[in-house]
Structure formats: structure tokens, C-alpha cells
Structure 1
Amino acid sequence: MLRLILALLLVSAPALAAPPKRAAVKPADWTKTVAATPEGGFRIGNPAAKVKLVEYGSLTCPHCRDFHRDGFEALKANYVRGGRVSYEYRSLVLNGPDFAAVLLARCDGAASFFTRVDMFYRTQPEWLAGAARLTAADQEALRTLPEDQVFQYIAAKSGIDAFVATRGIAPARAKQCLVDKAMIDRVTAMRGAAAEREVNGTPTFFINGTVQQNGKGAFARPLLSWADLEPKLVAALR
């Protein structure tokens, strides 16, 4: 009997010696993680990233548009995806059409925010052209409107509401967001917080809480391009 058991064990041994292969663990793609932040912005990437990049930007700012065009995809692919860098966009509104566009970009929260920011930057000359149609009479009318009706009026007069209606934001939904007082207050508070940090232009970038500039003292100048910013990210990652 003992010999039979030993023989069976020997026959079974090869099968027991080959454990099933485990599937390779796929690295996390942090570009799929987008969330609102307590400061009012939207962050894409790993919230525990070593390097936290914050941009104060405006949808009507040509330098911000150029940064987005030249650097946003590279930033996501080379730094955000692997979890080393997170990127947060905080709106620093500069004018009425900018404010209206920001409300529409924020309209459906984190899931669509960066897609809509991309849309507004890519089409900036088109939708901004309508702002030139605002007349002196329109400016006077704006002074008498309740705060929660100002941006609906601007969007209608400048054609921004019709513009976004052809790009996935239904008129009824756009109206809801343009008169959303809580959202208006949130964007206004972001502007106030930026002023407290002495942010007075766009784009302004912070890395781990430190404003990024080229040069020092009287020779300091703001970073305006991806070519200027990327070396700062590389240095922060060392």
C-alpha cells in the first residue's frame, strides 16, 4: 500500500509543481481620475502625487490657450498618467464672457470639465468673436440685472449659449448653469483666493505651493509656455 501511495504521489508531482500563472498587474492610469478640489478647481491625476501642479487660468487668455495646445497632452502622457504629477486647474476669470464660459465648463462637474475646457480653448477665436457684439447699451443693462441673471444675458447676447448648444450642452442645461448662484459664488471665491496669493495674471503656475517664474527679483517673469514649465516639473521630480 505504501508503495502505491508513493507511486501516485510521484505521478501527481509534475501537475502540482506548475502553479497557475498570474495575470500581470496593469499600471494605474491616473489621467482617468478627475475630482473637484476644496479650493474650487478640478484636479486630474493622483491626489498623492509627489509633484502637485496648479494653474490659474482663463478661458479667454491666449497664453493659456497656447499652453493647453502645446503641453496638456504631453503633461498627461508623460507625468500625470503614471501618478508622479497631479494637475489642478483653477479659474481666474478676467471678464464677463470668460465667467459665462467657465460656468458652462463646470456645468456637469468633474466628468466633463477638462473636455469642455479643451473645447473652449480649441475654439477660442470663434466664441470670443461674439463678445464684440456686446454694445454700450448691453453694458448698461448688465448693471441693473440681478447677479444670477448677468451671465445668462452675456451668453445670449454674445452667442455663447448657441455656440455650446451645437457642442453638447443643451439650452435648458446651459441656462441652469448660467444662473446657478452657488456655482457663481464658487468661481467668485476662487478669484478672491487668487488675489490673496497675489496672482494677478494668467497663466500662473504653482508647483507644490511655490509660484513658478523665470529669473529672480526684479528680473523675474511669469512662465507662459509648456517649454518654460516642463523643466521645472522635471527638477521637482528629482
Structure 2
Amino acid sequence: MSKFELNLTKRHLLGGIALAALSAAVGLPSVAAAVEIPKADADVDMTEALKPGALPDMAVGKEDAPVQIIEYMSMTCPHCAHFHNTTFDPIKEKYVDTGKVRFIIREFPFDPRAAAAFMLARCNPSKPAELSTADTYFPMVSMLMKQQEQWAAAEDGRAALLQMSKLAGFTQESFEACLTNQKLLDDVNSVRDRGAKEFGVNSTPTFLINGKRYSGDMSVENMSALIDSLL
């Protein structure tokens, strides 16, 4: 739930149309071709940020990749869902899979339903007392983000999450065991609290990237421009 919104006025819109028409008429390069590099909110101590907290970090990519990205996200945040449904996979293919980026997800639940979804992603479906690995965590997050509208706003959130979880291999028993794990809930909340206290996270998604903090959703083009500027 980003706190930043873009207000496009009629004057800006008409001015942009006029400039685009002028560019086309005189053969100037189109301003629409330029991709803006997102601006950082603040500096962060990336050495400290990269130290795991109460839970092991869920990461994909080379540990020594030149660009390190930490995303603080909430599972019920529509902006986070938009990022994961439209931007994450292309960025993973272009930069993570080629060794240029390491991407870490950290929990920042804003409500009990988001915390429950994170707990389910953290649990091993067949052994709920054990933590999952990145190989199962990321697919679970992806599934829940793609189906967010079905469970996040459902009247019976628990039943909706159970239905989603069964697709990931949970049974009624392992589902209940996971969601009654008080230590896991405390650890998820500890990850959130550390992000807020130490790194100033107060909205989602928030990205910590090579010592800078960025708030708000990013398109593939914007995040690519930012990553390219760091390589």
C-alpha cells in the first residue's frame, strides 16, 4: 500500500501531447522513450540490512551478486501483488537468473490475514513444524499474489486460505498446525518490526537496493533502469 500516488493534471497531459506532436513533426527523439530511474527516499546501511533477522532470508540469486535487493512486502497489499504479478518474473529472468541480482523477500504484514499467509509460505506443507525453503516459499508467494483477490477480501479468510493452501500440498491438519505456531507468528512480526525500526519501512512494497531505500511499486522498465544504473 504505497503512500505515493501520481496526480496527472489536464495541463500536464495537454502539454505532453503537444510536445510529442512537436517531436514527431521536427524529428526529435520522443520523450516517451526515456525511462525514469526511481528516486530513493533515504540511505540505509546495506551491510546491516543484509544480516538476517528472526527468520532465515528467503532469497534467489547469487549471494555475491553486484545488486542486492530486499523487498519488504505485505501479502494483502494490492501494490505488492501488482509488482509480483507483473514485474518480478521478468526481473528474475533478466537479472537474477544471470547472476546480476540477488532478491530477498521479507515479511511486513499489515494485518492478521497477511501474517497468516506469510506463515503458510514459511511452513513446510508436509512437516509444518519445519520451515520451508526458497524453492517452496517463492512459488507459494506467487500463487497467493496471483489469487490475492480471492482470499484477501473473502468473508471467511481462513477457509479461503485453506483452499489456496491445499493447492500447495497442505492438509487440514498441517494448515492448522502452521497457523497455531506462536513462535513462527512472533518471528514474522519481528521481521516486520526490525524493518520499521532499523530501516524506516512504513509502506509496502519498500525496496532496499544497494544502500538506498525506495518506496512504492515499480514497473519492469523502472526497476530495470535502476538496476542497470548500478551495474
TM-score, with length taken from structure 2? 0.68
Residue 167 of structure 1 and its aligned partner are, at CA, apart by 4.2
Structure 1 residue aligned with 2:104: 88
Residue 106 of structure 1 and its aligned partner are, at CA, apart by 0.9
- Aligned-residue sequence identity (percent) comes to 30
Structure 2 residue aligned with 1:38: 52
Work out whether residues 144 and 164 of structure 2, in 8 Å CA contact, stay in contact via their aligned partners in 1. no
Q: What is the rounded CA distance, in whole Å, between the counterparts of 2:211 and 2:191 in structure 1?
A: 16
Residue 160 of structure 1 and its aligned partner are, at CA, apart by 1.8
Work out whether residues 63 and 225 of structure 1, in 8 Å CA contact, stay in contact via their aligned partners in 2. no
**Equivalent of residue 203 in structure 1, options 202, 205, 212:** 205
**Partner-residue secondary structure (3-state), 2:153:** helix
Residue 117 of structure 1 and its aligned partner are, at CA, apart by 0.2
* Greater fraction of residues in helix: 1
Structure 2 residue aligned with 1:216: none
Work out whether residues 121 and 141 of structure 2, in 8 Å CA contact, stay in contact via their aligned partners in 1. yes
Which amino acid counterpart does residue 169 of structure 2 have in structure 1? G
Structure 2 residue aligned with 1:225: 218
Residues 28-57 of structure 1: per-residue CA shift (max 9 Å, x gap): xxxxxxxxx723331111111111011001
Q: What is the rounded CA distance, in whole Å, between the counterparts of 2:180 and 2:211 in structure 1?
A: 33
Work out whether residues 55 and 206 of structure 1, in 8 Å CA contact, stay in contact via their aligned partners in 2. yes
Q: What is the rounded CA distance, in whole Å, between the counterparts of 1:107 and 1:49 in structure 2?
A: 27
Structure 2 residue aligned with 1:65: 81
CA RMSD across the alignment: 1.7
Residue 166 of structure 1 and its aligned partner are, at CA, apart by 4.1
**Partner-residue secondary structure (3-state), 2:102:** strand
1:154-169 map, 5 Å: 155-156=158-159, 159-169=160-170
Count residues with an aligned counterpart: 169
Which amino acid counterpart does residue 201 of structure 1 have in structure 2? S
Q: What is the rounded CA distance, in whole Å, between the counterparts of 1:163 and 1:84 in structure 2?
A: 33
Larger radius of gyration between Structure 1 and Structure 2:
1
Structure 2 residue aligned with 1:52: 68
Which segments of 5 or more consecutive residues in structure 1 lack a partner in the other structure?
1-36, 134-153, 213-221
Residue 229 of structure 1 and its aligned partner are, at CA, apart by 2.2
Which fold has the larger relative contact order, with Cα–Cα distance below 8 Å and residues 6 or more apart in sequence? 2
Residues 223 and 235 (structure 1 numbering): CA distance in 2 closer, same or farther, change over 3 Å?
A: farther
**Partner-residue secondary structure (3-state), 1:66:** helix
Work out whether residues 80 and 205 of structure 2, in 8 Å CA contact, stay in contact via their aligned partners in 1. yes
Which amino acid counterpart does residue 233 of structure 1 have in structure 2? I
Which amino acid counterpart does residue 211 of structure 1 have in structure 2? R
TM-score, with length taken from structure 1? 0.66
Residue 223 of structure 1 and its aligned partner are, at CA, apart by 3.4
Residue 168 of structure 1 and its aligned partner are, at CA, apart by 2.4
**Partner-residue secondary structure (3-state), 2:207:** strand
Residues 196-230 of structure 1: per-residue CA shift (max 9 Å, x gap): 12100000011123212xxxxxxxxx331223322
Work out whether residues 72 and 205 of structure 2, in 8 Å CA contact, stay in contact via their aligned partners in 1. yes
Which amino acid counterpart does residue 155 of structure 1 have in structure 2? R
Structure 1 residue aligned with 2:33: none
Which segments of 5 or more consecutive residues in structure 2 lack a partner in the other structure?
1-50, 125-131
**Partner-residue secondary structure (3-state), 1:89:** strand
**Equivalent of residue 140 in structure 2, options 90, 111, 116:** 116
**Partner-residue secondary structure (3-state), 1:88:** strand
**Equivalent of residue 122 in structure 2, options 106, 110, 127:** 106
Q: Does 1:78 align with 2:94?
A: yes
